[in-house]
Chain A
Amino acid sequence: MFKIILLKEMRETIGSAKFVFSFSVCTVLILLAFYVGARNYQVNRAQYEASVRENLRQMEGLTDWGQVESQIFLPPTPLAALISGLSNDVGRSIKVEAVGELISENSRYGEDPIYAVFRFLDLEFVFQVVLSLFAILLAYNAVNGEKEQGTLKLTFANAVPKDRYILAKLSGVFASVVVPMLLPILIGCGILVIMDIPMNGSEWLRLAMIVVAGLLFFMVFLNLSIFVSAKTERSSYSFLILLIAWIFFVLIVPRTSILLAGRAIDVPSIDEIHAQKFRNQSQLWTEDMQKIDAFVPPSNDPEKAFAAFNTFMNTTRETRETKIAEFNQRLNEDRNNRQAVQREWAFGIARFSPATSLSLAVMSLAGTSHAIAQQFLDQARSYQQSFAQFIKSKNNGETGGHMVRVKIGGAPQEKAKPINPYEIPAFHFQSMSVGEYITPALTDIGLLIGFNLMFFAGAVWAFSKFDVR
């Protein structure tokens, strides 16, 4: 019995015009997303490499290690090209000096607002907006449509148990809709391979999980559609209801809840933080000025006096910088903590919509969630330390500073030797372990499964009460 209905359901779905229609549109879009992602990755990679090269090249000919500041860059990843997430909103480069606060700048959208206007056509967009709409289109009349046709009556004139029927129906729709979607996705993966996009094992696994999350989300809307279809008498009503539900779930709820909940939680503005940092800095500077003013050299021999002064200045400076760094760190941490609370609330509320769960899950998996900004900054900080060490080793134990030394008289100086910028330790952005990407996504994948179960149970329940007449 089950099999008969299942097969009929599959035949009916696959043979329908709307299936052919939506399947071909999806195929085109998915392939486009993969292709565009791969192209974007190549372009970004080339730009990244050019930037790194240019950064070193511009230091050629410098003679003073104390003047060296290096720029480090966030490398593009293939998954970020498929799920752009926040990767275009975070600053992609950081200027590193031996000391001083690190600030990431040059976000893609900030530099090229043209891309910000319409954003990118990525896999997340295809899953979230297009596939969900097609799920509705494919299943909005699953139950009440058969009633309108009159075939439901005919079916139940036979000894068909209702629960068996709805189960067969659901599995039929899933099997005939979800399985074909895998085809363009597999071809898409093929595109990645053909275009020589370097993907490691972790990235393939995460891509697979992204696809799973996308299909789970697709199924949420299938289940929802069947539920609504079993709950309403006429298919035109169920379609209207589902369309509105779609607008809310996909377009409205995530945006609104984040905008409203986010603003409701007080996070100190970045300007206040800046101002506090600045005030602290200038206060310390003023204090140090007094100390410098009070400096008395141990001897009057110019060379020795200067050497002593230099040492004194270096110590003062380092103490000051440490104090500044500690203070800044405290402020940053405080703001980060508040932002974490804000995120928790806003995302928590936004998760009423499965679209939010999908976004958050795939962003975590692709490594393009909010975590990437912090990760980049943290790694830049530890790089800064090795950079400082390096500079010190090159610069007589000094971290450098903006001092201009003019020596009058005495022995003529020999011409300074140019530095070799390629000695500077390179910055390697360390991606996290697979587990670290997957763990934060698990909640949201769980939620997606939950949504599925909820709407599925709803569909079974609604159908058990459905008036087949």
Chain B
Amino acid sequence: MLWTIVEKEFKFILTSPKFFATFLVCSMLILLSFFVGIQEYRATVAQFETGQTMNQQSLRERTTWSGATNRIYRQPDPLQIIVLGVNYDVGRFSPINVWMPVKLLESAYSQELIYAVFRLLDFNFIVVVVLSLFAILFTYDAINGERESGTLKLTLANAVPKSTLIVAKLIGSWIGLVVPLLIPLLLGALLLMVYQIPLSTDHWIRLLCLLGLAILYFTFFMTLGLLVSSLTQRSVTSFMVLLVSWIILTLIVPRAAIMIAGQIVQVPSAAEIDSQIDGYSKSEWEKYRDGIQKTWERRNNELEQVPEKEREVYREQKLWSWLEEDDAARKTMQEGVARYSKQVKEDMENRKLQQVKTGFVLSRFSPASAFQLAAMNLAETDIFIKKRYEQALNDYHVVYSDFIQKKSKEGGGEGLRITVDSEKGFNVQIPDMKKTIRADEIPQFQHPKRNTGDVIADLMMDAALLVVFSGMVLVGVLTAFLRYDVR
């Protein structure tokens, strides 16, 4: 019985114009999204590689270690083809040097504004916006449409339990939407292979998870369609109700939630924080310079004590330890600045995290956000990518600074040393310009990659949420249809 109806539903959908339209549009859009995604990925990889090469080149041309600025670029991940997420919104690289805290700079969108106008077109977008609309299109008249056309009466004049009918309808239309989804997806996967996108087993596992999520996501909209269809008498009404629900769930709730969160938890702007850090850093520098001035005055006084003849020798003896003292003082000062900066930034980060969490909790009232957040997690293009990179960069910053400090001790400094001495006259020392540094000695940066197991574990919440959403609606459908007036 069940399968008779499922078969009929499936056949009915297959022969309907809306299936034809859906299949065509879905296939086109999914393939298009893969194609566009692949183009974007390759552009990103090309940029990443140029960036790295240029960075290597600049480093190789350097003659001294001190002051060497390394640039760490975020490594593109092929999953951005499917879920671009905030990949283009977050800075692409951070300069790494001794005197500056890490900061991701120059996001792709801020540098190429043209792409920011309409933003992305990835598979994730197609699923969130287009597939959900089609899911509604498939089921909005499942019940009341049959009532309007009169076939519902004829069907229920037979010994068909209503629950069987509704479940069969769900399964039938579900298969009817999975097919138009799977065929272009397989072609898309083929496209990925043809273009030789480097996908590891982990990537494929994540893609499968994403597919599962996408199916859960549009199942929700199908059940929602059934629910409204069995709550209303006319299919025109149910479509209107569904369209508005769709607008609210996919377009309004996520945006509104984040904005409300922004109002609830306020975070100072980055520029404000930067100014604060700069201010602290400058005052520390000033203190340091005053200190150095005083120290040298003291040392000079010390010199005065020494008989004039021995003065030069004494000075020569002391000079190195003096310079080391100065260096140590500078290092302490710089560490102090770094600590302060870290503290202030951490405070802000915590506030921000609070804000994000609030926003996400609120937005998860909509399955569209639940899906999108989960998808971004899977592809590691979520908003925490910034945090992950900043953490990794901070760790690297420590290693790098130590390395540079060690190296600069071995080699000379980069700056000019100008001494004007009443005895020896004017003297300029410039660094050796012939010998370049060996850039390949620079410690390697480990790009933060999340463990697939962890990612999938994180996913469970959203997946469960989607299941709960659909389950709730399904219960609603069953109760509504059991009470449905079939006349």
Question: CB distance B133 to A252 under 8 Å?
Answer: no
Interface residues in chain A, defined as those with a beta carbon under 8 Å from any beta carbon in chain B: 17-18, 21-22, 25, 29, 32, 36, 39-40, 43, 47-48, 50-51, 54-55, 57-59, 61-64, 67, 69, 71, 73, 85-86, 89-93, 103-107, 109-121, 125, 129-130, 133, 137, 237, 240, 243-244, 247, 251-252, 254-256, 258-260, 262-263, 267, 269-272, 274-275, 278-279, 282, 286, 289-290, 292-293, 295-297, 300, 302, 305-306, 309, 339, 342-343, 346-347, 350, 356, 359-360, 363, 370, 373, 404, 406-409, 412-413
Does any Cβ of A come within 8 Å of B27's Cβ? no
Question: CB distance B90 to A272 under 8 Å?
Answer: no
Q: Which residues of A contact B55 (CB under 8 A)?
A: 275
Question: CB within 8 A of B383: which of A114, A297, A409?
Answer: A114
Q: Which residues of B contact A293 (CB under 8 A)?
A: 428, 430
Does any Cβ of A come within 8 Å of B107's Cβ? yes
Question: CB distance B106 to A295 under 8 Å?
Answer: no
Q: How far is the CB of A338 from chain B (nearest CB, A)?
A: 11
Q: How far is the CB of B366 from chain A (nearest CB, A)?
A: 10
Question: CB within 8 A of B433: which of A18, A256, A286?
Answer: A286
Question: CB distance A243 to B372 under 8 Å?
Answer: no
Does any Cβ of A come within 8 Å of B1's Cβ? no
Question: CB distance A47 to B272 under 8 Å?
Answer: yes
Q: How far is the CB of B133 from chain A (nearest CB, A)?
A: 7
Question: CB distance B86 to A282 under 8 Å?
Answer: no
Question: CB distance A278 to B116 under 8 Å?
Answer: no
Does any Cβ of A come within 8 Å of B321's Cβ? no
Question: CB distance A55 to B255 under 8 Å?
Answer: no
Q: How far is the CB of B476 from chain A (nearest CB, A)?
A: 21
With A106-B270, A275-B54 as known contacts, state yes or no: A91 contacts B110, CB within 8 Å. Answer: yes
Cα distance A302–B425 when bound, in Å?
Answer: 7
Cα distance A92–B292 when bound, in Å?
Answer: 37
Q: Which residues of B contact A251 (CB under 8 A)?
A: 125, 129-130
Cα distance A259–B81 when bound, in Å?
Answer: 13
Chain B, 332-391, CB within 8 A of any chain A CB: 352, 355-356, 359, 363, 369, 372-373, 376, 383, 385-386
Q: Which residues of A contact B25 (CB under 8 A)?
A: 244, 247
Q: How far is the CB of B3 from chain A (nearest CB, A)?
A: 28
Stretch at the interface among B205-213, B395-403, B414-422: B414-422
Interface flags for B33-60 (1: CB within 8 Å of A; 0: not) read 0001001100100110011001101100
Chain B, 257-313, CB within 8 A of any chain A CB: 257-259, 261-263, 266-272, 274-276, 278-280, 282-283, 285-286, 289, 292-293, 296-297, 299-300
With A121-B256, A370-B114 as known contacts, state yes or no: A260 contacts B39, CB within 8 Å. Answer: yes
What are 18 of the A-B contact pairs (CB < 8 Å)? A54-B272, A58-B278, A67-B286, A86-B117, A103-B106, A115-B262, A116-B86, A117-B254, A251-B129, A252-B32, A252-B121, A269-B50, A275-B55, A289-B416, A293-B428, A359-B117, A404-B289, A406-B293
Question: CB distance A58 to B271 under 8 Å?
Answer: no
Question: CB distance B113 to A279 under 8 Å?
Answer: no
Q: Which residues of B contact A240 (CB under 8 A)?
A: 17-18, 21, 137
Interface residues in chain B, defined as those with a beta carbon under 8 Å from any beta carbon in chain A: 17-18, 21, 25, 29, 32, 36, 39-40, 43, 46-47, 50-51, 54-55, 57-58, 61-62, 85-86, 89-91, 104-107, 109-121, 125, 129-130, 133, 137, 236-237, 240, 243-244, 247, 251-252, 254-259, 261-263, 266-272, 274-276, 278-280, 282-283, 285-286, 289, 292-293, 296-297, 299-300, 352, 355-356, 359, 363, 369, 372-373, 376, 383, 385-386, 416, 418, 420-422, 425-426, 428, 430-431, 433
Question: CB distance B137 to A93 under 8 Å?
Answer: no
Q: Which residues of A contact B137 (CB under 8 A)?
A: 240, 243
Q: Which residues of B contact A67 (CB under 8 A)?
A: 282, 285-286
Q: How far is the CB of A444 from chain B (nearest CB, A)?
A: 12
Cα distance A346–B359 when bound, in Å?
Answer: 34
With A106-B270, A271-B50, A370-B114 as known contacts, state yes or no: A404 contacts B292, CB within 8 Å. Answer: yes
Question: CB distance A89 to B113 under 8 Å?
Answer: yes
How many residue-residue contacts, CB under 8 A, span A and B?
Answer: 293
Q: Which residues of B contact A54 (CB under 8 A)?
A: 272, 275-276, 279
Question: CB distance A300 to B240 under 8 Å?
Answer: no
Question: CB distance B40 to A259 under 8 Å?
Answer: yes
Cα distance A272–B263 when bound, in Å?
Answer: 40
Q: Which residues of A contact B299 (CB under 8 A)?
A: 408
Q: How far is the CB of B341 from chain A (nearest CB, A)?
A: 13
Question: CB distance B46 to A61 under 8 Å?
Answer: no
Q: Which residues of A contact B106 (CB under 8 A)?
A: 103, 105, 270
Question: CB distance B90 to A113 under 8 Å?
Answer: yes
Question: CB within 8 A of A110: which of B47, B91, B129, B236?
Answer: B91
Question: CB distance A120 to B270 under 8 Å?
Answer: no
Q: Which residues of B contact A406 (CB under 8 A)?
A: 292-293, 296
Q: Which residues of A contact B236 (CB under 8 A)?
A: 18
Question: CB distance B269 to A237 under 8 Å?
Answer: no
Question: CB distance B86 to A59 under 8 Å?
Answer: no
Interface centre among B272, B352, B372, B383 (most CB of A within 10 A): B272
Q: Which residues of B contact A263 (CB under 8 A)?
A: 39-40, 43
Q: How far is the CB of B246 from chain A (nearest CB, A)?
A: 9
| Apart from A67-B282, A260-B39, A296-B426, 7 more pairs, CB < 8 Å | A17-B240, A36-B259, A47-B271, A61-B283, A86-B116, A89-B116, A278-B58
Question: CB distance A121 to B252 under 8 Å?
Answer: yes
Q: Which residues of B contact A64 (CB under 8 A)?
A: 286
Q: How far is the CB of B312 from chain A (nearest CB, A)?
A: 13
Closest B residue by C-beta to A372: B113
Interface centre among B29, B57, B111, B240 (most CB of A within 10 A): B111
Interface centre among A21, A71, A275 (most CB of B within 10 A): A275
Closest B residue by C-beta to A286: B433
Cα distance A343–B117 when bound, in Å?
Answer: 11
Cα distance A252–B130 when bound, in Å?
Answer: 10
Q: Which residues of B contact A50 (CB under 8 A)?
A: 268-269, 272
Cα distance A243–B133 when bound, in Å?
Answer: 9
Q: Which residues of B contact A85 (CB under 8 A)?
A: 117
Cα distance A279–B54 when bound, in Å?
Answer: 10
Question: CB within 8 A of A256: which of B121, B289, B300?
Answer: B121
Cα distance A64–B121 when bound, in Å?
Answer: 51
Closest B residue by C-beta to A74: B271
Q: Which residues of B contact A409 (CB under 8 A)?
A: 300, 422
Question: CB distance B279 to A51 under 8 Å?
Answer: no
Cα distance A25–B133 when bound, in Å?
Answer: 18
Question: CB distance B263 to A258 under 8 Å?
Answer: no
With A61-B286, A309-B418 as known contacts, state yes or no: A259 contacts B426, CB within 8 Å. Answer: no
Cα distance A300–B423 when bound, in Å?
Answer: 9
Question: CB distance A73 to B271 under 8 Å?
Answer: yes
Q: Which residues of A contact B47 (CB under 8 A)?
A: 269, 271
